[in-house]
Structures are given as C-alpha cells and as structure tokens.
Amino acid sequence: MQLAAVESRASHADLVKIGLSSNGWVPLQSVLMLAVVGLGVGVRGQWQSETSFLIGALLFTVAAGIGIAGVRKLGANRTARPEPKPGSELIQHGIYRHLRHPLYASVILAGFGWALLWQSAPALAAAMVQAVFFDAKARREERLLSEKFSEYAAYSAKTKRFLLWVY
C-alpha cells in the first residue's frame, strides 16, 4: 500500500529528471553495452562476409587501443558519470589531444566492431542506438566541463569529439 502511495506522488517530470541525472546515464549505458554484446552472440551469422569479420576485428582492436590510452591519460579523473569529479583537471594531452571523448569513442567503435565480427543486424542496430546515446552523454558532459573549465571552449574548438578529422 505504501509503495502505491509513493508511485502516485512521482510525476512524469520526476521520472524524466531521474533518467537525465547522473545516476540514470550509467545504468542505461550498461544496458546498451550488454544489448550489443548479447545480440551479437545471440543473433549472429545473418550474413557471411570475411570482409565484415575483418573490419569488425580491426574496429574492435582500434577501440581497445583508444580505450586503454584514454584510461591511462585520464587517470584519477575518470568517472562513468557525466559530471567531472571534484578537484579534477582538464586533460588535453595524449589521446585527449586528438579526441575529447576517447572512452566513449572506444565503446562506440567496439560496439560496431562486435556487431560486424558476429555479423549480427540486431547488434548493429543496438550499436547505432549506443552511438546516439554516447553522443548525447558527451554533449551533457561538455556543458558541465565548459562550466568548470574556462579553457574548455578553446579545447573543444580544436579537438574532435569522437572521430579523428571527422566528428
């Protein structure tokens, strides 16, 4: 009975606020990553292409390299939430000299690579949704970084978000 009372007091705005809060981004990204992996393994071999497999392997390998470089350079500043940690600094060297969000880029590339490795159309669709999600999360994070670091605008003007020379 008490649960029903709590549920009736929660408005749509409250639910949207929960979904857009820091605590909402992390579980959703986990669900999307698991969807890509699960659909890749569970619904695989929808087309037969050695080229697809090789491109997938290449993307997955590049993703691993970008991700490792990002984790190493970000160090103690790393967080899964879009808000920068208190006392954090703006990293602009290493892989961050070329990409503003190498960790997100690595997850996006790994998702597409995984889908192509397993030759799975549902995993490819989930990877596309995941890419849109991380683009939205990056935009939110960038607003917060702009508020915290005065030099972020200049950094973002010269550094691509996810893909070298493209985006």
Q: What is the pLDDT of residues 55-78, one digit of tens each?
A: 999 999 999 999 999 999 999 999
pLDDT of residue 5 exceeding 50, the answer is no
Q: Which of the residue ranges 7-11, 25-29, 32-36, 122-126 would you say has the lowest mean pLDDT? A: 7-11
Whether pLDDT at 31 is above 60: yes
Mean pLDDT score of the chain: 88
Q: Residue 7 pLDDT more than 50?
A: no
Show the tokens assigned to 160. 């691509």
Find all residues with CB under 8 Å of 9, minimum gap 6, and list them. Answer: none
- Judge whether 108 and 134 are in contact, CB under 8 Å: yes
Q: Which candidate, 100, 75, 97, places its Cα nearest to that of 88? A: 75
Specify the pLDDT at position 13: 44
Q: Indicate the SS3 state at residue 60.
A: helix
